[in-house]
Amino acid sequence: MLLDKNPAYDAITSIVSDPQVKVLAGDVTDVATLENLVQNHGIEAVVHTAALLSTAIRMDPLAGIQVNIMGTANVLEVARRQGLRRVVLASSSTVGYQAFGDFTGDAFPEDFPLQFIRHRPASIYVGTKVAGEYLGLLYRDLYGQSVVALRYAAVISAWSGPGTSVPGKVLASLLLPARRGETAVINDPYTVWNGGEEFVDARDCASANVAALDAVDPTQGIYNVGMGQLFSFDAFVDAVRLCQPNLRVRLDVQPAGGFAGFPHVRSSASDLSAAARELGWAPAYSLADAIAHYAPLLN
């Protein structure tokens, strides 16, 4: 069963032409609705991805806090009351972005020691994701609820409509003009970056969620999900050019920092060893694979 406040059938069908699950309308901020759905549909486990992303939260911070934090708390509380087997929470690699300036290793681990004030979240969106991770661990530690949080890297998919993420905007800003034979004009400072950024194919996110649902002993509880490799803006452009050789790009803005406007420039990809060890998961798709797969579906 798929639950969404306003089911976006266009977004769903950009991934699968005929969803094989029941699609229902409902709001994660309504705990009674969640509990009724769990009881009436025999739900045993939940993958919780409902959230407002950075752009939407900048427009309406309170709505983002209500959905991202209280929505997560509602899912966890219903899981506790109903004795669900497991909850998998969608978190984000952005929870560690603010520490990039102080990290010099080869691979950024989930448990990098953070300075409580200096490494505080750099956006409300990140703050809500940190809160969600802590709530998940607290429900695990205090109530014995099985909870796994996955820190997705920047997700590549075919959806560029309302609610899309920064990676969706980047891909669309390059691919769609090239498809029309036009120059891609980059004038949004959030869609160009210094240093590197890590991406992940939406199909790898799906397989990671399945792995997290079925893992026997996910002791660490929080796992990085990405390609394990960084890409500069130029490298991203080169990957798009593999499927659109006529791509021409004009930068009308210069990046002021790292990906999506974060101040620190990233120099290390994520450490994926815990996901491999405890979830049995590893990425299957490269950036070129992802762009080649989703490019024909993007409109």
pLDDT tens digits, one per residue of 30-60: 999 999 999 999 999 999 999 998 888 989 9
SS3 (DSSP) at 178? helix
pTM (predicted TM-score):
0.94
pLDDT value of position 7? 82
pLDDT band at 132 (very low <50, low <70, confident <90, very high): very high
State which H helix or E strand residue 1 sits in.
Answer: none
Contact indicator for 87, 146 with CB cutoff of 8 Å: yes
**pLDDT at position 199 over 70:** yes
pLDDT value of position 212? 98
Q: Quick one: the chain helix, strand, coil %, rounded to 5?
A: 45, 15, 40
What would the two tokens of residue 195 be?
């240093």
**pLDDT at position 129 over 90:** yes
Please name the residue that has the structure tokens 């109530």. 143
We report the CATH number of the domain holding residue 61 as 3.40.50.720
pLDDT band at 68 (very low <50, low <70, confident <90, very high): very high
The total of structural domains in the chain comes to 1
Contact indicator for 274, 224 with CB cutoff of 8 Å: yes
Alpha-helical regions (H) of 93-196: 124-143, 166-179
% of the chain at pLDDT higher than 70 = 97
pLDDT value of position 159? 73
Residue 132 CA to residue 70 CA, distance in Å, equals 9
Residue 230 CA to residue 153 CA, distance in Å, equals 10
* CA proximity to 171, closest of 6, 292, 25: 292
Residues 223-247: b if buried by 16+ CB within 10 A, e if exposed: bbbbbbebbebeebbebbbebbeeb
What would the two tokens of residue 188 be?
């949004």
Contacts of 193 (CB under 8 A, 6+ apart): 232, 233, 255, 257, 258, 259, 260, 265
Residue 119 CA to residue 124 CA, distance in Å, equals 14
What would the two tokens of residue 172 be?
């669309």
Size (the chain), residues: 299
pLDDT value of position 267? 92
**What DSSP character marks residue 70?**
I
**What domain range includes position 130?**
2-297
Contact indicator for 249, 192 with CB cutoff of 8 Å: no
**What DSSP character marks residue 112?**
P
- Average per-residue pLDDT for the chain: 93
pLDDT band at 163 (very low <50, low <70, confident <90, very high): low
State which H helix or E strand residue 46 sits in.
Answer: strand 45-48
Q: What is the average per-residue pLDDT within 257-265?
A: 89
SS3 (DSSP) at 269? strand
**pLDDT at position 14 over 90:** no
What would the two tokens of residue 92 be?
């984000």
Query: How distant, in Å, are the alpha carbons of 121, 224, 225 from that of 94?
Result: 9, 11, 12
Strand partners, 199: 154
* CA proximity to 129, closest of 75, 68, 86, 74: 68
